[in-house]
């Protein structure tokens, strides 16, 4: 039996799931994408039914509660989806011999670092979202299947969903005033690039925890300016500090000031580096110009 005989993607309507399905199609592989209506990953009965009906050899979990600020008010829900549900999937995957892929985040770190984070660095999430994603990592590893991947990524965007560059471009076109935090640094990641990287790791039989994002680092402020420039939107954007931003929006979740991650292990494992974030942003603009914001 091949690893790719029966591929299931949870969170099937999300932008990452769509990008993964597209990448699989390009490699002549098909997947069953299941949305929230088809599978509630927080339900043990639903998870059991998923494995009974589809018998996945490869399960790629893209289901997540990703609204970072909302997670502060919905901590129990965030823990259920991003944390405990991952344990259910891992336990079922272990029993059925399924390769399980799960996505985590740079938000598991506290942002006090001064060099790119390595996979074994100490964690210390600042937000409910980050804590829930760390819980998912811990639940997976506690019930680890024989083959599993955790891919930590950052600042994800792409077609088919809400994203930071889309918000900036649309608000800029509407003439809305733009203020963007300038003292948080990380690496934007384009969903098709993360999808390709995921399949590259799977095909090479890699397991464990990996950091995968586009190469290079920027601030949210410079990311916003790059998006406006790329989409030729003649809007101005003003920098604002995290302290001032939180003062304006006190219910904001705390975010790491520095969340750049070490990509050298990925480059060594696959024989190719992740491409620069600015090049990926240009491809995103070309895709939007061609097909619109949604898939």
User: What is the tens place of the pLDDT at every residue in 118-156?
Assistant: 999 999 999 999 999 999 999 999 989 999 999 999 999
Residue 58 domain flag: yes
User: What is the tens place of the pLDDT at every residue in 29-69?
Assistant: 999 999 989 999 999 999 999 999 999 999 999 999 989 99
Q: What is the 3-state secondary structure (H, E, C) of 93-140?
A: HHHHCCEEEEEEEHHHCCCCCCCCECCCCCCCCCCHHHHHHHHHHHHH
Transcribe 144-161 into DSSP letters. Answer: --SSEEEEEE-SEE-SSS
Residue 94 domain flag: yes
| 27: nearest Cα among 279, 218, 203, 282 | 203
User: What is the tens place of the pLDDT at every residue in 250-289?
Assistant: 778 999 999 999 999 999 999 999 999 999 999 999 999 9
Known active-site residue 190:
no
Q: How far apart are CA 214 and CA 145, in angstroms?
A: 28
The first and second tokens of residue 55, run together, are 């018998």
Instruction: Read off the CATH number of the domain in which 147 is found.
Output: 3.40.50.720
Q: Which pLDDT value is given to residue 249?
A: 80
Can you point out the beta strands (E) in the chain? 7-10, 31-34, 58-61, 99-105, 148-153, 156-157, 178-181, 185-186, 189-190, 208-211, 218-219, 237-240
Q: Which pLDDT value is given to residue 1?
A: 64
Domain coverage including residue 33: 7-158+189-215+260-276
Residue 243 domain flag: no
Residue 238 domain flag: no
For 184-199, b where at least 16 C-beta lie within 10 A, e where not — what string? bbbbbbbbbbbbbbbb
Q: How far apart are CA 168 and CA 176, in angstroms?
A: 9
Residue predicted with more confidence, 1 or 99: 99
Identified catalytic residue from 129, 157, 190, 258: 129
User: What is the tens place of the pLDDT at every residue in 155-183?
Assistant: 999 998 889 999 999 999 998 889 999 99
The burial of 140, by beta-carbon neighbours within 10 Å (0-12 exposed, 13-18 middle, 19 or more buried), is given as buried
Task: Say if residue 295's pLDDT is above 70.
Answer: no
As for how many domains the chain has, the answer is: 1
In the chain, % of residues over pLDDT 70: 99
Transcribe 200-211 into DSSP letters. Answer: HHHHTT--EEEE
Q: Which pLDDT value is given to residue 161?
A: 84
Residue 1 domain flag: no
Residue 2 domain flag: no
Q: Residue 293's pLDDT band (boundaries 50, 70, 90)?
A: confident
pTM: 0.95
Q: How far apart are CA 194 and CA 67, in angstroms?
A: 19
Q: How far apart are CA 259 and CA 127, in angstroms?
A: 14
User: What is the tens place of the pLDDT at every residue in 177-229?
Assistant: 899 999 999 999 999 999 999 999 999 999 999 999 999 999 999 999 999 99
Q: Residue 294's pLDDT band (boundaries 50, 70, 90)?
A: confident
Residue 288 domain flag: no
Residue 175 domain flag: no
């Amino acid at each position: 039996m091949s690893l790719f005989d029966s591929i299931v993607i949870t969170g099937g309507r999300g932008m990452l799931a769509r990008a993964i399905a597209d990448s699989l199609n390009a490699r002549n592989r098909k997947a069953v994408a299941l949305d929230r209506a088809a599978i509630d990953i927080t339900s043990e009965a639903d998870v059991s039914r998923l494995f009974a009906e589809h018998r996945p050899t490869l399960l790629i979990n893209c289901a997540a509660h990703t609204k970072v600020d909302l997670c502060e008010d919905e901590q129990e829900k965030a823990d259920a989806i991003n944390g405990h549900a991952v344990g259910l999937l891992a336990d079922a995957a272990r029993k059925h011999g399924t390769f399980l892929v799960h996505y985590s985040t740079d938000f598991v770190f506290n942002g006090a670092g001064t060099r790119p984070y390595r996979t074994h660095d100490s964690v210390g999430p600042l937000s409910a979202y980050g804590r829930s994603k760390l819980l998912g990592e811990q639940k997976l590893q506690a019930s680890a299947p024989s083959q599993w991947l955790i891919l930590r990524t950052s600042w994800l965007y792409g077609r088919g969903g809400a994203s930071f560059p889309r918000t900036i471009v649309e608000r800029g076109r509407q003439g809305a005033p733009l203020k963007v935090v300038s003292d948080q640094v990380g690496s934007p990641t384009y969903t098709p690039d993360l999808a390709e990287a995921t399949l590259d790791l799977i095909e090479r039989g890699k397991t464990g925890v990996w950091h995968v994002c586009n190469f290079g680092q920027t601030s949210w402020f410079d990311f916003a300016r790059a998006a406006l420039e790329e989409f030729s939107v003649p809007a101005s954007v003003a920098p604002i500090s995290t302290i001032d931003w939180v003062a304006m929006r006190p219910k904001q979740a705390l975010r790491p000031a520095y969340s750049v991650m070490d990509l050298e292990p990925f480059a060594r494992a696959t024989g190719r580096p992740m491409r620069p974030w600015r090049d990926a942003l240009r491809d995103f603009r070309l895709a939007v110009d061609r097909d619109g914001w949604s898939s």
